[in-house]
Amino acid sequence: MEFPAASAHRGLVPWLGLLLAVYLLAFWIPGTTAHFAIVQTRAVEGQDVILRPEYSGRETANLDGSLTIRNVTASDLGIYGVVAILPHNEREIGYGRLNVYGPVSVPTLVASNTTVTENEDAVVMTCYTKADFTSWLHNAKSLQLGKRMKLSWDHRTLTIDPVRREDAGNYQCKVSNPFSSFVSAPLELVVKY
């Protein structure tokens, strides 16, 4: 069931979310310690998502109370709220988060230099991507960071200073979101000694 005003109000709400009023036709028992929230949802841009309220108590909802957002975009990311209007005009408010992820594409790996001299040179490798998560591979295995290796805050840049012969080999960056992942083409680092 789509909330009729959802498209008209998208982007006009001052806080990160949209308040959706849901009328519960169930009998509310006073003193119940129920949990009322929106199920946390993840989506890829372009998907349709349905935000559903969840209840953890003795109450039941006779109406669906869901909100459909068609063709979700990054601007739809945020906190959404739901209000249950109970008997005697009491209100129960619940919140949930919608995470929206952009599509992941194959990253490009670039190095400051691919042929270096042991204990003299440093190398900086940069993984070009818009993905949310980045990890590194060395010779097709997960890279174990040593004392001479540093990652940037977003994990997209790897610095090795100074380079040693055990650092030689193929490097790749792996990018992902909860829906997909891709690995860059291998970049060979040659270490002269």
- List where CATH 2.60.40.10 sits in the chain: 6-101, 108-192
Report the pLDDT value the prediction gives residue 103, as an integer from 0 to 100: 85
Report the pLDDT value the prediction gives residue 58, as an integer from 0 to 100: 47
Which of the pair, 49 or 40, is modelled with greater confidence?
A: 49
Q: Residue 182: pLDDT band by 50, 70, 90 thresholds?
A: very high
- pLDDT for 52 beyond 80: no
Structure tokens at 32: 């119940």
- pLDDT for 49 beyond 80: yes
Query: Rounded mean pLDDT of 156-178?
Result: 96
Region 6-101: CATH code: 2.60.40.10
CB-based contact 157:151 (threshold 8 Å): yes
- pLDDT for 2 beyond 50: no
CB-based contact 86:163 (threshold 8 Å): no
* 179-185: Cβ within 8 A, 24+ apart: 179/42, 179/44, 179/101, 179/104, 180/103, 180/104, 181/104, 182/104, 182/105, 182/106, 182/107, 182/131, 183/106, 183/107, 183/137, 184/106, 184/107, 184/108, 184/109, 184/127, 185/106, 185/109
pTM of the complete model beyond 0.85:
no
Class of domain 108-192: mainly beta
Beta strands at 78-85 and 91-101: parallel, antiparallel or unpaired: antiparallel
